[in-house]
Amino acid sequence: MADPVIYGPAFSTYVRSVLLTLEEKGAPYRLEEINILEGAHQTPEYRARHPFTKVPAFEHDGFALYEAVAIMRYVDETFEGPSLQPDDARARARMTQIHGIMNAYAYPACISACVIQRLVVPLTGGTPDEAVVAEAVPQATTSVEALDALIGDNAYLTGATLSLADLHLAPVYDYFSQTPEGATALQGTPNLRRWWAGMSERESVQKTKPALG
């Protein structure tokens, strides 16, 4: 069987969540760079892989897939290594809930608004749009506070063991904590800060650290 191929830039949070999943499984893979800052995801060739022109896209032995959570689940269920999805119905529901929070609330506020304006816009020579940041801060703060309440005293987001929920949040937390708004919001989330102190030491997290972060 061919090794899986991930299409996207290593600096994308969604790409990194997939890479983290592969790393935690100990699975082989190849990353094919699609630089979204240079518009490489807008070509007809890439659109054939992902009609919504987002990253990541994925292919494994003729099986093509897009949407990060679907890819993460497929990787977990296809490759050897520790299971990254809880068996317990409640913990599994919690994992699905956290994927939903990340996609619907946390990513748009923390990454699409705060991180893009604070970290990416200056990199490309622009000036952050303060109105975009200000509008996003309440939802970003609610997102990290909600996740802090959900993890509580647990070591990981769904309980005592690592799950895909942790691998979804880790890249977002990493970037968001590097913005002034993130630093302030995360002061109110001691459980998440404890979680990140451990997560950030994991080999998978170290190995996938993006140049942007």
Ligand X SMILES: N[C@@H](CCC(=O)N[C@@H](CS)C(=O)NCC(=O)O)C(=O)O
50 or 94: whose CB is closer to ligand X? 50
Q: Which stretch binds ligand X (CB under 6 A): 11-19, 145-153, 156-164, 181-189?
A: 11-19
Task: Give residue 56's identity as a one-letter amino acid code.
Answer: P
Residue 36 as a binder of ligand X (CB under 6 A): the answer is yes
CA distances from 55 to 13, 61, 119, 179 (A): 9, 19, 19, 23
**Cα 126 to Cα 37: distance, rounded to the nearest angstrom:** 13
44 or 152: whose CB is closer to ligand X? 44
Q: Which stretch binds ligand X (CB under 6 A): 8-16, 150-158, 162-170, 203-211?
A: 8-16
Residue 54 as a binder of ligand X (CB under 6 A): the answer is yes
Residue 12 as a binder of ligand X (CB under 6 A): the answer is yes
* DSSP state letter for 160: S
Q: How many residues bind ligand X (CB under 6 A)?
A: 9
Torsions phi, psi of 153, nearest 5? -90, 0
Residue from 68, 84, 109, 115 that binds ligand X (CB under 6 A)?
68
Q: Which residues contact 196 (CB under 8 A, 6 or more apart)?
A: 170, 173, 174, 177
64 or 149: whose CB is closer to ligand X? 64
Q: Which two tokens stand for residue 5?
A: 């191929």
Cβ atoms within 10 A of the Cβ of 170, count?
23
191 or 209: whose CB is closer to ligand X? 209
CA distances from 41 to 26, 31, 139 (A): 28, 14, 28
Least Å distance between CB 155 and ligand X? 26
Least Å distance between CB 25 and ligand X? 18
Residue 58 as a binder of ligand X (CB under 6 A): the answer is no
Residues within the interface to ligand X (CB under 6 A): 12-14, 36, 41, 54-55, 67-68
